[in-house]
């Protein structure tokens, strides 16, 4: 490992983590599915982006009914992706390039093919009988309560072996583990220790607020009329009609997160980032990362939804600062579960200019960053015809919700058949609109989103205020977003024009325009003019 990596134990604080969806990154063996060897082959490209590490979505043994988020062996690689030796080779190559490696951990539920569940469902007296959440039917045979699955329908499925229902917050094939059982908690911590001992640098924790449930199985209340619905689920999903106060985000979770942090502290330099889907996401983020004894970082769906106006972004920042205390956020505008930001936020905007200024805003926020594969290329959401839909979520809620396949299509490497991703037809179709945006097409274009990403991340790394500085919002008018970042004696004013017209503002403080970030602006005394889709960074006078 690079000695600099060994010395930088807090690399994650302000770090930029590149998310890789293994099925769709690079196919090395010609079966139409991406794999670990393909990722290893492309790590030089990832390092060239100036990111600090990578996060790999699940590659563990799985029946793949939810594409790896249904794990049947927590300690091995699914043959679809390669072998454990392939993972070790990936880890070694990444570390040699100075890249940290984080991996997904899906511990709230397993596949129904996991040996634990096969034993648990056999009868009510076996050693793992209470490793999952089982409950008797109501006297009329209906489910124990009104809890719903995110993927549609009740969160309960009846099992004829035990004549009981089991809980599943997602697919019926993804039974929820019973974290009230200390043996379950220990087993999952031991599984994570296995990967830490192999040398991984941290974990992205799937559904980190879903580990515990109310053992009394109390019904969830409805969302009051006129109140906002749950973030992270489409409006067409009845899951959003409940307040999720009894099935998720239980207080017992905090003690488990402390146990997890104690494990991570045995491996200096490792980190955790938790995914939080909750009725009150920023409050939960603060709760889960405050105090230095739970998660290192967490992210919510506040920037993974549709609103993107300066007013909305100011409101998110203000709310986080009001609630956060010493919490540390990890911001993302796209991932493998939501419509790509170039479409979700940039619909109707300039398709080449808008993604660049959106990335500039993201890279300038206080916190760490997750950058999803293809965002550096400005990829729009792919159109996947119904007959090619793979995502079970999309099949259930079609056509109001088309699922998550549109953000999971293959990475376009070249302007060639299958985008240079594979030699054969891939598991999801390559989007034709992605080919002109392929890595090959952008590599030598200084005005491309790819060039902007590299420039912006180099600029960020050169300014401590952008990596780990404090943030304070400033008034630069309703149509612009502005804030000051400050650290180590450096004070930077960051201003963003996310719209399609030239805007001007009078600066609250005098400063000097900085260069080296790739954007243009004009400064006349304290009057700043920003053309459409531009950003300005000013070094403020003390």
Nearest one of 24, 51, 97 to 422, comparing CA atoms: 24
Nearest one of 227, 284, 280, 233 to 254, comparing CA atoms: 284
The DSSP secondary structure of 411-428, one letter per residue, reads P--SSSGGGGS-SS--SS
What does the pLDDT average to over 482-503?
96
Lowest mean pLDDT among 54-58, 198-202, 215-219, 284-288: 284-288
Verify whether residue 266 is a known catalytic residue. Answer: yes
Q: Is 342 exposed, middle or buried (0-12, 13-18, 19+ CB in 10 A)?
A: buried
List Cα–Cα distances, 331 to 13, 275, 426, in angstroms. 12, 11, 30
107 and 75 in contact (C-beta within 8 Å)?
no
**pLDDT at 84 (0 to 100):** 98
- Mean pLDDT (the chain) is 95
Q: Is 182 exposed, middle or buried (0-12, 13-18, 19+ CB in 10 A)?
A: exposed
Q: Please give the torsion angle defined by the CA atoms of residues 134, 139, 141 and 146, in that order, rounded to the nearest 10 degrees.
A: -60
pLDDT-derived band at 30, boundaries 50, 70, 90: very high
**pLDDT at 392 (0 to 100):** 78
Give me the percent of the chain exceeding a pLDDT of 90. Answer: 86
Nearest one of 354, 356, 276, 359 to 320, comparing CA atoms: 276
| Residue 300 clears pLDDT 80, i.e. is over it | no
Question: Where is 383: in which H helix or E strand?
Answer: none
In 316-473 the beta strands, taken as DSSP E runs, fall at: 330-331, 368-372, 470-473
d(CA 117, CA 459): 49
For 57, other C-beta atoms within 10 Å of its C-beta total 25
Contacts of 348 by beta carbon, 8 Å cutoff, 6+ apart: none
- Token pair, residue 369, equals 């960053």
Out of 266, 293, 315, 488, which one is annotated catalytic?
266
Verify whether residue 136 is a known catalytic residue. Answer: no
**pLDDT, tens digit, 9 for 90 and up, residues 302-355:** 899 888 899 999 999 999 889 878 889 999 999 999 999 999 999 999 999 999
199 and 103 in contact (C-beta within 8 Å)?
no
Length of the chain equals 542
| Residue 488 clears pLDDT 90, i.e. is over it | no
338 and 231 in contact (C-beta within 8 Å)?
no
Phi first, then psi, for residue 262 (nearest 5°) are -60, -40
pLDDT-derived band at 6, boundaries 50, 70, 90: low
| End-to-end Cα separation, the chain, in angstroms | 40
72 and 62 in contact (C-beta within 8 Å)?
yes
Out of 27, 104, 112, 206, which one is annotated catalytic?
206
What does the pLDDT average to over 263-287?
93
**pLDDT, tens digit, 9 for 90 and up, residues 506-542:** 999 999 999 999 999 999 999 999 999 999 999 998 6
Domains in the chain, please, with CATH?
3-110+181-458 (3.20.20.80), 469-540 (2.60.40.1180)
**pLDDT at 442 (0 to 100):** 98
What does the pLDDT average to over 168-187?
98
**pLDDT, tens digit, 9 for 90 and up, residues 442-455:** 999 999 999 999 99
**pLDDT, tens digit, 9 for 90 and up, residues 81-94:** 999 999 999 999 99
Q: Please give the torsion angle defined by the CA atoms of residues 198, 329, 466 and 485, in that order, rounded to the nearest 10 degrees.
A: -160
Could you identify the residue written with the tokens 């549109």? 406
Question: Where is 401: in which H helix or E strand?
Answer: none
Could you tell me how many helices (H) and strands (E) the chain has, helices first? Answer: 15, 21
What does the pLDDT average to over 380-391?
92
């Amino acid at each position: 490992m690079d000695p600099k990596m060994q010395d930088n134990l807090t690399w994650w604080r302000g770090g930029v983590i590149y998310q890789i969806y293994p099925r769709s990154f690079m196919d090395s063996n010609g079966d139409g599915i991406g794999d670990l060897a393909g990722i290893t082959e492309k790590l030089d490209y990832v390092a060239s982006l100036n990111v600090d590490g990578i996060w790999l979505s699940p590659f563990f043994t799985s029946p793949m009914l939810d594409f790896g988020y249904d794990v049947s062996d927590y300690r091995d690689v699914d043959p679809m992706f390669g072998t454990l030796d392939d993972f070790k080779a990936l880890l070694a190559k990444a570390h040699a390039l100075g890249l940290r490696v984080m991996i997904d951990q899906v511990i709230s539920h397993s596949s129904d093919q996991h040996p634990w569940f096969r034993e648990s469902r056999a009868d009510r007296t076996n050693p793992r009988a209470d490793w999952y959440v089982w409950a008797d039917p109501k006297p009329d045979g209906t489910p124990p309560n009104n809890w719903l699955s995110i993927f549609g329908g009740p969160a309960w499925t009846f099992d004829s072996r035990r004549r009981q229902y089991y809980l599943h917050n997602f697919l019926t094939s993804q039974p929820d583990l019973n974290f009230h059982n200390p043996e379950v908690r220990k087993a999952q911590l031991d599984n994570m220790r296995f990967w830490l001992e192999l040398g991984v640098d941290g974990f992205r924790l799937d559904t980190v607020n879903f580990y515990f449930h109310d053992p009394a199985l109390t019904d969830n209340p409805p969302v009051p009329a006129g109140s906002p619905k749950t973030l992270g689920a489409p409006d067409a999903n009845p899951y959003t009609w409940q307040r999720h106060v009894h099935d998720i985000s239980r207080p017992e979770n905090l003690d488990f997160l402390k146990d997890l942090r104690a494990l991570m502290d045995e491996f200096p330099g490792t980190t955790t980032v938790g995914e939080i889907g909750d009725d009150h996401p920023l409050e939960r983020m603060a709760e889960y990362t405050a105090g230095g004894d739970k998660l290192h970082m967490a992210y919510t769906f506040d920037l993974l939804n549709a609103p993107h106006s300066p007013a909305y972004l100011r409101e998110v920042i203000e709310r986080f600062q009001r609630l956060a205390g010493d919490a540390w956020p990890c911001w993302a505008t796209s991932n493998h579960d939501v419509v790509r930001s170039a479409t979700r936020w940039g619909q109707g905007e300039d398709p080449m200019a808008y993604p660049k200024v959106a990335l500039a805003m993201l890279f300038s926020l206080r916190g760490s960053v997750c950058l999803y594969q293809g965002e550096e290329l400005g990829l729009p959401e792919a159109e996947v015809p119904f007959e090619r839909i793979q995502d079970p979520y999309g099949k259930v809620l079609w056509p109001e919700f088309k699922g998550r396949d549109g953000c999971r299509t293959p990475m376009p490497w070249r302007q060639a058949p299958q985008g240079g991703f594979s030699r054969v037809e891939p598991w999801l179709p390559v989007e034709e609109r992605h080919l002109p945006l392929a890595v090959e097409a952008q590599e030598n274009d200084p005005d491309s989103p790819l060039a902007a990403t590299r420039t912006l991340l180099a600029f960020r790394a050169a300014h401590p205020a952008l990596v780990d500085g404090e943030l304070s919002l400033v008034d630069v008018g309703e149509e612009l977003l502005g804030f000051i970042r400050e650290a180590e004696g450096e004070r930077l004013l960051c201003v963003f024009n996310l719209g399609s017209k030239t805007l001007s503002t009078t600066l609250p403080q005098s400063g000097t325009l900085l260069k080296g970030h790739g954007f243009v602006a004009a400064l006349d005394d304290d009057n700043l003019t920003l053309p459409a889709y531009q950003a300005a960074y000013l070094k403020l006078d003390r």
